[in-house]
């Protein structure tokens, strides 16, 4: 397990085609040089992904993003409003070399975001080119939201690992495609309402497994089965309460931001006591609750 390294070591590792555990404000990522297909292939190997899903290109700022993707007025308006931050835009590709074919899974589009975490920003800025970074979990497992969990999942494959503390947001970025109509591919902490306030009504992802291929059922899944919308847990179940205290409470006060930040960590903690099941309290559907419920349905094995 690599000990925490500094920014210089992380940049050197990226330049050498190695992988880096990279903190972001959403979840920890496993980063590589987007232009280097061998390095990108290492990511898929480390995650044990059954097939090649397109990865998000992480950039330092909008100027760097405009070098790799084609921005229209709507895309620019969203980037100006929410970057740096937990929003990913899927746009037509502009430079096929800087984000390699393998990183895009051969698509004519590219997913791009400027992360808000200062360590992520500083690494990308010092590296000078985009890095691709999926969540640092092994395929199908909950995304890591602490340094220890990230190292535990994929640290063995990383040449450098940056400790950025616990992730503020705790859920992966919101993904919006701006290819035809604006379309919500993955709900996140930038809410549907916040995006619609900038670009108007969002179309649904018709078949999200097809359009955003990483979003399979049984994503984010702990080992124990997960039961949703539970008001009273059964004996032997670990209970993720909401608006009430408890050892695995998502938020004692019923705060959605706190629940999002705690979700993946609590799923891991609950799993460690080897319960017969993990029962989860009902979570309101609106605002940030849309993203929390999306991840919970996947943890429970339902197609979203
Ligand atoms: O918050 C996040 O976005 C984190 C941190 C590390 O930045 N990263 C992350 O990456 O969640 P990953 O690989 O776990 O999820 C990327 C998602 C997948 O669902 C993938 O299918 C989708 O974005 N995606 C990537 N490129 C795409 C494209 N060109 N078209 C449609 N969906 C795309
Ligand atoms: Mg992921």
pLDDT at site 204? 78
* 205 C-beta closer than 6 A to ligand 1: no
Q: What is the reported pTM?
A: 0.92
pLDDT at site 228? 97
* 251 C-beta closer than 6 A to ligand 1: no
CA–CA gap between residue 272 and residue 212 (Å, rounded): 30
pLDDT at site 209? 47
Residue nearest to atom 22 of ligand 1 (CA): 212
Ion ligand 2: residues, CB within 5 A, are 135
pLDDT at site 304? 36
Q: What is the mean pLDDT of each run of 10 residues along the chain (304 residues)?
A: 83 98 98 96 89 91 98 98 98 95 93 98 98 95 96 97 97 96 95 97 69 56 94 97 98 97 96 97 96 94 58
pLDDT at site 5? 86
* 126 C-beta closer than 6 A to ligand 1: no
pLDDT at site 240? 98
* 56 C-beta closer than 6 A to ligand 1: yes
* Spacing, Cα 235 to ligand 2 middle (Å): 32
* 131 C-beta closer than 6 A to ligand 1: no
């Amino acid at each position: 397990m690599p000990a925490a390294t500094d920014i210089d070591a992380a940049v050197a590792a990226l330049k050498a085609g190695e992988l880096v555990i990279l903190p972001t404000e959403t979840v920890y990522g496993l980063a590589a040089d987007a232009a280097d297909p061998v390095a990108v292939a290492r990511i898929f190997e480390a995650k044990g992904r059954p097939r090649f899903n397109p990865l998000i290109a992480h950039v330092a700022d909008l100027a760097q993003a405009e070098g790799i993707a084609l921005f229209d007025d709507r895309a620019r308006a969203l980037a100006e409003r929410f970057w740096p931050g937990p929003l990913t835009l899927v746009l037509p590709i502009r430079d096929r070399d800087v984000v390699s074919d393998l990183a895009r899974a051969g698509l004519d589009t590219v997913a791009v975001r400027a992360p808000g975490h200062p360590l992520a920003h500083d690494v990308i800025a010092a590296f000078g080119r985009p890095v691709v970074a999926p969540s640092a979990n092994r395929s199908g497992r909950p995304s890591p939201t602490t340094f220890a969990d990230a190292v535990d999942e994929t640290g063995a494959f990383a040449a450098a690992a940056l400790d950025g503390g616990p992730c503020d947001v705790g859920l992966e970025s919101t993904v919006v495609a701006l290819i035809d109509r604006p379309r919500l591919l993955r709900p996140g902490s930038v809410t549907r309402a916040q995006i619609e306030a900038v670009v108007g009504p969002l179309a649904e992802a018709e078949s999200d497994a097809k359009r955003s291929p990483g979003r399979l059922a049984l994503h984010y899944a702990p080992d124990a089965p997960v039961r949703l919308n539970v008001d009273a847990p059964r004996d032997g179940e670990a209970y993720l309460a909401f608006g009430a205290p408890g050892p695995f409470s998502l938020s004692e006060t019923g705060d959605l931001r706190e629940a999002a930040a705690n979700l993946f960590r609590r799923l891991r903690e609950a799993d460690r006591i080897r319960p017969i099941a993990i029962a989860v309290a009902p979570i309101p559907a609106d605002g940030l609750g849309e993203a929390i419920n999306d991840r919970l349905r996947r943890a429970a094995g339902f197609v979203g």
